[in-house]
Amino acid sequence: MASRGDLKDNGAMTKEASARRPSASHWGAFDAEVRNGRVVALRPAAEDPQPSPLVQSQLDALYADNRVSRPMVRAGWLEAGPGGRRERRGAEPFVAVSWDKALELVAGELARVKSRHGNAAIYGGSYGWASAGWFHQANFQLHRFLNCFGGFTAKTDSYSYAAGMVLMPYVLGSKDLVAGRSHAWDAMLGNTRLMVMFGGLPLKNTQVDFGGTLAHTTADWLRRIKAEGTEFVGITPHRGDLPDFLAADWLAPRPNSDTALMLALAHTLLVGGLHDRAFLDRHCIGFARFADYLTGKTDGVVKDCAWAAAITGLGAADIAALARRMAMGRTLITVTWSLQRADHGEQPYWAAIALAAMLGQIGQPGGGIGFGHACEGGIGLPRERVANPRLPIGDNPTGSSIPVARIADMLLHPGQSYRYDGRTHRYPDIRLVYWSGGNPFHHHQDLNRLVAAWRRPETVIVHDPWWTAAARHADIVLPATTGLERNDIAASSRDPFVLAVHQAIAPVGQARNDHHIFAALADRLGFGRGFTEGLDEMGWLRRLYGELRASAERKQVAMPEFDRFWAEGKVAIPAPDEPFVALADFRRDPERNRLPTPTGKIELFSDTIAGFAEPDCPGHPAWLEPVEWLGSPVAARYPLHLISGQPRHRLHGQLDIGSASLAAKVAGREPIQINPQDAAARGIRDGDVVRVFNDRGATLAGAVVSDAVMPRVAYLTVGATYDPLEPGRPGSLDKHGSANLLTLDKGASNLSQGPIAHSCLVEIEPYRQPAPRVTAFEAPATRN
């Protein structure tokens, strides 16, 4: 394939003055209305009962002033070579260069680093929701390219649920239940008597799904479940996590204290004889040792309701009443991903499994345990399990990787040892960071620390459609296309539709598809044929769809041939004959359907984890005090617990420049919710610009006084574009409400090393000075 294949039409665009093209995104399916080569409107799919307003925000972003219009190189790097003035990353102007020059520089840097330092010195950091389409997934493209080049240092796990993913194979034998293979909604209809929602069921998160969706139906399913008689209890510091129509009972414990609450519920079941001894004996291992911990035989501390009341702030009688209520009938315990993004984040997941096991309803329709319900739109939807199309990335010859949230540690401490998943590892010495898709300056914690770490590599290369914080802190920036500028196939492993993504317009400015950029680089580096396999964009889509169709046929699911699918724009994946119930086969016959744990059973005590001898993750669920929470000494100086939840008006940091996100700003900044008691004590009123700060940094946000957040808790959604007052300087005041200026960059434990964004204490005060202008959406200074 020619390296300039990105300029080809591929038959996707016609010359008529007006047309509609079917497409899809993380926010839903839609038609793009095109007039004279320009997208003028995005029309949500007619089948969608609750279309997301974020669909329209894509149009705002498509033509935004901060699009990267052509290849750019940071002035200091261009003038002084690799490593040149790297302390000025984020502050220096950029120099426009031609595509040929940019590709020459990138290929030369890759060859230099490989020759002098080896492939493990390249960090392929692509991470994030870059595309709902599976061919143009930026991280797949980057990782395929780097594997063809000889390998790289990769990441493992996910910021969304790293602690849960590492823990779950030891307890349930698989990561699937954490990653969304959870109880289907139709299994709950008429079966679930009580749903206890740790972290709530935040409907705002159901407006997005990793692989796209045709229709947003979670709210409809919940209404049907409630109409069948299910009662709901929501356990969260933020009432906004509970849909109003559920009329859920709201319990608001101190953040990070859920494990203590679960242990007290388990203790109440134990001493009251309300636990299912037969299920525990046949399906579980280690209950006796867990029971010894609950009763205090292990450590002298009885984990009863009075003990938990002192930790959680809830009433002991309320905790006991909830335990008895859970034991009265079919109960489903749901746990959001957010609970494990905290210090010792493995523990609430493990404790929730133990609690569900004691109730004895795991594997029954509408009972047991579920993770991530309402954390994405597709979780819980009935759908036959057919594999998604997936660009093959090949094997990484280096075998080098780090836990996903340990980027700053890796850059700051090359060669340092660390513990992860029962083994000792060492951080590689990274000389080149290559980032395509995602934005580390959105999803990583303690951004001031990251800014300092980001100065260490000799070269940083970024593909991006916009001047995000990642692009601003790069040395070489290559303009990438958006989903509206390319063809693809969108599909979620949970949503019951596969969707055709038709290119709506030619690339804006000089943007190119990631695939075409990597194909051109592969040509220069001598493995062009190996990377493309002789296929162009549409050739790859035909191949990936063919593999999907073959996988479906093995499940007795019929799918049309590619041309019909492409013309019709979608194909349905049917629901299974029976509602999906997690662990149903194991419950029915645990001897014939053993779990892939060391014992084949649910491990309430894990000899394997105990054998790792990690002081911050023992062999059974336990209450371990977080490094920062309202019961810690730090609270004397920083008395508010900051929850940085996902926004309803964008996806993570994506579409922050869109109309939905901009309309949600307060005083031009990210809104922060604060309880009326806390606001009054600080002289804060609705709409004030406030300074939110701790020892790690400070940011300016717009105050929203609301009783939806419990006292001593503040709620600042994550993803506001990082906008430092003094670009490139660690410690600079952020002007725009970036939550990760404040969050702590520490692993959840030596087991998982997961992120702990929700273990964070802050103080808030009115900002009495003239508030600086927000410049987050302006392009940096450039010169030709």
Q: How is the chain split among helix, strand and coil, in percent rounded to 5?
A: 30, 20, 50
CA–CA separation, 312 vs 319, rounded Å? 10
Give pLDDT, residue 13: 53
HEC string of 701-750 equals EEEEECCCECCCEEEECCCCCCCECCCCCCCCCECCCCHHHCCCCCCCCC
User: For residue 486, how many other CB atoms are within 10 A of its CB?
Assistant: 27
Q: Which residues contact 253 (CB under 8 A, 6 or more apart)?
A: 235, 237, 261, 312, 313, 314
* Segment 106-127, tens digit of pLDDT: 999 999 999 999 999 999 988 7
Backbone φ and ψ for 206, nearest 5 degrees, come out as -80, -5
Q: Could you give the CA distance from residue 598 to residue 172 in angstroms, rounded to a whole number?
A: 10
Instruction: Residue 223: count other Cβ atoms within 10 Å of its Cβ.
Output: 13
Model confidence band, residue 8 (pLDDT cutoffs 50, 70, 90): very low
- What's the mean per-residue pLDDT of the chain? 95
11: its two tokens: 């038959």
- Predicted confidence at residue 12, as pLDDT, reads 46
Quick check: is 349 catalytic?
Answer: no
Which contiguous run of DSSP H or E holds residue 259?
helix 258-271
pLDDT of 16:
58
Which residues, 6 or more positions from 618, have their beta carbon under 8 angstroms from its beta carbon?
609, 610
Residue 599 is predicted with a pLDDT of 97
* pLDDT at residue 11, as a whole number: 41
For residue 394, pLDDT over 50 is answered with: yes
pLDDT score recorded for residue 492? 85
Which strand (E) or helix (H) includes residue 282? Answer: helix 277-283
How is residue 169 written in tokens? 């194979």
Q: Tokens at residue 139, please? A: 């991280």
**CA gap 770, 66 in Å, rounded:** 26
pLDDT-derived band of residue 210, with 50, 70 and 90 as boundaries?
confident
What per-residue string of b and e applies to 334-345 under the rule 16 or more CB within 10 Å gives b?
bbbbbbbbbbbb
Segment 583-605 mean pLDDT: 98
**Residue 66 has what pLDDT?**
96
Residue type, position 111, single letter: A
Per-residue pLDDT of 407-417, as tens digits, reads: 999 999 999 99
Query: For residue 535, what pLDDT is reported?
Result: 97
Residue 728 pLDDT > 60: yes
> Which residue of the set 27, 77, 123, 129 is catalytic?
129
Q: Which has the closest alpha carbon to 258: 316, 335, 360?
A: 335
- C-alpha angle 613/360/160, rounded to 5°? 55
Q: Cβ-count burial of 40 within 10 angstroms (0-12 exposed, 13-18 middle, 19+ buried)?
A: exposed
β-strands 459-464, 476-479: how paired?
Answer: parallel
Rounded Cα distance, 40 and 18, in Å: 10
- Which residue matches tokens 């946000």? 701
If pLDDT is split at 50, 70 and 90, which confidence band does 9 have? very low
Residue 222, amino acid: L
The token pair at 681 is 């004590």
Confidence at residue 494, expressed as pLDDT on a 0 to 100 scale = 83
Q: Tens digit of pLDDT for each residue in 631-644?
A: 999 999 999 999 99
Average of per-residue pLDDT across 250-265: 98
Mean pLDDT to the nearest integer, 654-677: 97
Q: How far apart are CA 713 and CA 707, in angstroms?
A: 10
Residue 438 predicted with pLDDT over 90: no
Pairing type for strands 194-198 and 331-335 reads: parallel
Residue 427 appears among annotated catalytic residues:
no
Angle between helix 316-326 and helix 258-271 axes, rounded to 10 deg? 60
Averaged over 352-363, what is the pLDDT? 98
What average pLDDT does range 282-297 have in this prediction? 98
Contact 168, 175 (CB under 8 A): yes
pLDDT at 7: 40
Residue 636 neighbours by CB under 8 Å, 6+ apart:
none
- The H or E element containing residue 425 is strand 423-426
As a three-state string, the secondary structure of 75-138 is: HHHHHHCCCCCHHHCCCCCEEECCHHHHHHHHHHHHHHHHHHHCHHHEEECCCCCCCCECCCCH
Question: Helix, strand, or coil here: 27?
Answer: coil
721 Rama class: left (phi>0) / alpha (psi -120 to 50) / beta: beta
Residue pair 499/214 in contact (Cβ under 8 Å)? The answer is yes
Q: What is the DSSP letter of 46?
A: T
492/290: higher pLDDT: 290
Which CA distances in Å does 50 have to 5, 54, 219, 246?
A: 38, 12, 9, 17
Q: What's the pLDDT at 3?
A: 36
> What pLDDT does residue 387 have?
83
pLDDT of 682 over the 80 cut? yes
pLDDT over threshold 80, residue 2: no
Residue of 27, 99, 123, 127 marked catalytic: 127
Which contiguous run of DSSP H or E holds residue 284?
strand 284-285
pLDDT at residue 15, as a whole number: 52
The answer to whether the Cα torsion of 580, 584, 588, 594 is positive or negative is: positive
- Per DSSP, 388 falls in state P
Three-state SS string over 481-548 comes to CCHHHCCEEEECCCCCEEEEECCCCCCCCCCECHHHHHHHHHHHHCCHHHHHCCCCHHHHHHHHHHHH
pLDDT surpasses 90 at 182: no
Question: How much is the pTM?
Answer: 0.96
Q: How far, in Å, CA of 88 to CA of 84, rounded?
A: 9
